[in-house]
């Protein structure tokens, strides 16, 4: 075999290897992207299941109470300022704690607003979820604007609820998506 023949054969093999490596990296990145959304969606599904069943402990397991208090305090202070009121310090922690719990959110079927008979499925939660940034995901409303209703943040102990509405605590859940098959 001539000396130049080996190099000519190696070049196509190197190109094939590079193409295979690039394909593997793309598949890995795609798989990581799905896993990245699965964790916050599981936290949202767990919280919504706790809401559906009235499970206070399950709700707390998915909630950063301090962050939710701070968010509610900001919302209430903003509403007061819009009304021309100035309240030093804002609402007490005890008052804010009474605004945080599974019995204060209401899950309803989209379109009918009938109370849900069962917690939203992971597929339904996926339809209502959007990534805000690397460390925040929200459960959004079903309007075209997709305004955030519940916001979850990545924390050392997992994804936790950090923001929720001070008013209008109804969460419309879309119908179960059709099964792929």
Over residues 18-67, the pLDDT tens digits come to: 443 333 333 333 334 445 689 999 999 999 999 999 999 999 999 999 99
- What is the full per-residue pLDDT of the chain (181 aa) written as tens digits? 555 556 555 555 445 544 433 333 333 333 344 456 899 999 999 999 999 999 999 999 999 999 999 999 999 988 887 877 776 777 899 999 999 999 999 999 999 999 998 999 999 999 999 999 999 999 999 999 999 999 999 999 999 999 999 988 899 999 999 887 6
Cβ–Cβ under 8 Å, residues 97 and 164: no
Residue 138 to residue 165: CA distance in whole angstroms: 12
**Total Cβ atoms within 10 A of residue 47:** 28
Res 31: pLDDT? 38
The CATH number of whichever domain residue 111 belongs to comes to: 3.10.450
Question: How many domains is the chain partitioned into structurally?
Answer: 1
Cβ–Cβ under 8 Å, residues 141 and 110: no
Q: Does 159 map to a domain?
A: yes
Q: Does 17 map to a domain?
A: no
């Amino acid at each position: 075999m001539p000396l130049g023949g080996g190099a000519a054969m190696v070049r196509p093999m190197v190109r094939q290897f590079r193409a295979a490596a690039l394909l593997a990296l793309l598949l890995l990145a795609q798989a990581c992207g799905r896993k990245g959304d699965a964790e916050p969606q599981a936290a949202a599904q767990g919280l919504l299941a706790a809401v559906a069943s009235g499970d206070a402990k399950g709700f707390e397991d998915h909630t950063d109470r301090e962050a939710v208090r701070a968010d509610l305090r900001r919302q209430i202070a903003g509403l007061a300022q819009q009304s021309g009121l100035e309240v030093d310090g804002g609402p007490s922690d005890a008052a804010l704690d009474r605004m945080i719990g599974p019995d204060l959110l209401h899950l309803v079927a989209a379109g009918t607003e009938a109370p849900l008979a069962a917690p939203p499925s992971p597929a339904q939660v996926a339809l209502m979820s959007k990534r805000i940034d690397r460390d925040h995901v929200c459960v959004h409303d079903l309007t075209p604007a997709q305004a955030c209703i519940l916001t979850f943040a990545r924390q050392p102990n997992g994804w936790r609820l950090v923001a929720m509405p001070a008013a209008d605590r109804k969460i419309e859940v879309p119908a179960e998506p059709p099964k792929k098959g």
